[in-house]
Structure 1
Amino acid sequence: MPPAIIVEHVSKEFILRHNRAMGLKTRFLSVFHKNKREKREHFLALDDVSFTLEKGEALGLLGHNGSGKSTLLQIIAGILQPSKGRVITNGRVAPLIQLGVGFNPELTGYENIFLNASLYGFLNKEIKRRVKSIIEFSELEHFIDAPLKNYSSGMQMRLGFSVAVNLQPDILLADEILAVGDQAFQDKCLNKIAEMRRNGMSLILVSHSQEQVNMFCDAFLLLDHGQVVHRTK
């Protein structure tokens, strides 16, 4: 059986552009002439990261802010492309990464369920079979026909989480997204993830909570300045 995820020598470099303060005239002229006041900085967010996640395993990503955890998760999800290396995934991936990703604020909650699920590769007929359970799990029945722009951030998180877990993905990518709603709903989410883990789902969890990592994960990967400095098994 092939692994759920293979990450091979992945590096990611960003170019940070720093513009010194300039007036309106200078900004206008810079459109036609190379801006000599612009400074560029090469930032290596990930540096030769490799690991394999077997099917049914769960891996926690730990590290301080800026260590590369979220960048790595976005590359695995296909949101970002690596500068070097490659990522292979086997199975349907559901990313719970950033609030608002895969949603349109002008559409209703109901419409956004179809939009978000289609990005995971589901057809409309498949989504229709699951839409009732998604709405019920989110506990947003009274707001589901309202535009998403009228939702609070907590309500958007609830909807995003509900779509992801009720589509029964083979691989769930979660980035500090488990704190959704009140304590009762958080417990409901944690119980749902535990159930999915028992049914063989693979999981990568980014968290600052060692307790959550210990609860769900078979191993953890510690990142520091974009490099793997420790891994447990």
Structure 2
Amino acid sequence: MTNKIVLSDVNLHYASVAFKERSLKTMLASLVKGPGGRKAVADIHALKDVSLSIVPGERVGLLGHNGAGKSTFLKMVAGLYPISSGKRTVEGTVRSLFDISLGFEPDATGRENILYRGLLLGLTPKFMRSIESEIVEFADIGEFIDYPIKTYSAGMQVRLAFAISTAVGGDILLLDEVIGAGDANFMIKARKRIGELVEQAEILLLASHDFQTLQSICKRGLVFHHGQVIFDGPIGEAVIHYRRVNHV
């Protein structure tokens, strides 16, 4: 099977009620108010008619202002967000590095969470047990690995999450910004690990505001603007186009 990403006229909408209401009670109250209630808010059209293909060997940078659609695009490719219309084809093992601290069970130990997080990544308990010692060594949080996650500092949680999420590479690697993973020594290890994953991946998608990083890693750039891909071409030209559109 050839690893690839092919999108044809892909649209993605968010239900506005998910953003507008702060609780179930206020949501239900607004629904029973009828036409005389508050003004309706239209659903958010997060991705608009996106058509493109990405093949093995490509390193693609995603540019755009905050809210332009970069992160939504990555999560759609990862299969986390269902599309509203169009066709999405993603062939290959996908590994993503965003929201890496999600999926922790606070009352369970770090060691137990290694297993839980592995299951969320689609890996088997047997496989997670086989790489547990490597993850523990990389996270380097000492005896806290056998303490509940709720006793961890924020930095310790990020270190363990990063160690788990990057323990296994994939054919298609999705990165959202550069990971801040703790102290200076750990950051050196983290950057090296990311570099190894990038080298191993057949396809890389990297969303970042760091143009220097994008231009050093990627050859192709996609510029997002209000949910649309308004430029698709060489990364250097993509940076120029982004700056022109956003007046920076």
Give me the TM-score of the superposition, normalised by structure 1: 0.85
List aligned pairs for 1:124-135, cutoff 5 A.
124-135=125-136
**Cα deviations across residues 65-109 of structure 1 (Å, max 9, x unaligned)?**
010111111111121111112322222222222143232222221
Query: Hey, what's the Cα distance between the residues in 2 that align with 1:179 and 1:42?
Result: 33
Change (3 A) 1:194 1:31: closer
Q: 1:138 to 1:198 in 2, by over 3 A?
A: same
Asked if the contact 1:15/1:40 (under 8 Å) is kept, the reply is no
Distance across 2 between alignment mates of 1:99 and 1:164:
7
The alignment status of 1:33 with 2:32, answered yes or no, reads: yes
Any stretches of 5+ residues in structure 1 without a counterpart? Answer: none
SS of match in other structure, 1:81: coil
Structure 2 residue 156 is the aligned partner of structure 1 residue 148: no
How far the C-alpha of 1:15 sits from its partner, in A, is 3.0
1:204 aligned partner: 205
One-letter code aligned to 2:52: F
Partners of 2:27 and 2:225 lie apart in 1 by 41
1:120, distance to aligned residue in structure 2 (A):
1.9
Aligned partners of 1:28 and 1:228: how far apart in 2?
33
Question: Which letter does structure 1 place at the counterpart of 2:121?
Answer: Y
Tell me what 1:106 maps to: 107
Contact 1:97 1:177 in 2 (8 A): no
Give the letter for the 1:140 counterpart: I
2:52 matched residue in structure 1: 51
Number of the residue aligned with 2:245: none
Decide which structure has greater helix share: 2
In the aligned structure 2, how far is the partner of 1:102 from the partner of 1:45? 24
| Structure with greater proportional strand content | 1
Using the alignment, how far apart are the partners of 2:100 and 2:129 within structure 1?
Answer: 23
> Does the CA-based 8 Å contact 1:58-1:203 persist in structure 2?
yes
In structure 1, give the amino acid aligned to 2:29. S
Residues 6-21 of structure 1 correspond to what in structure 2 (within 5 A)? 6-17=6-17, 18=20
CA RMSD in angstroms, aligned pairs only: 2.5
- How much has 1:6 moved relative to structure 2? 2.2
Q: Which runs of 4+ in 1 moved over 4 A?
A: none
- Corresponding pairs, count: 227
| 3-state SS of 2:186 partner | helix
Q: Secondary structure at the match of 1:143?
A: helix
State the 1:200 CA deviation.
3.9
Give % identity. Answer: 35
Distance in structure 2 (CA, Å) of the matches to 1:7 and 1:157: 32
| TM-score (norm. length: structure 2) | 0.80
Runs of 5+ consecutive residues of structure 2 not aligned to the other structure? 235-248
Change (3 A) 1:230 1:33: closer
User: Within 1, Cα distance between the matches of 2:57 and 2:139?
Assistant: 25
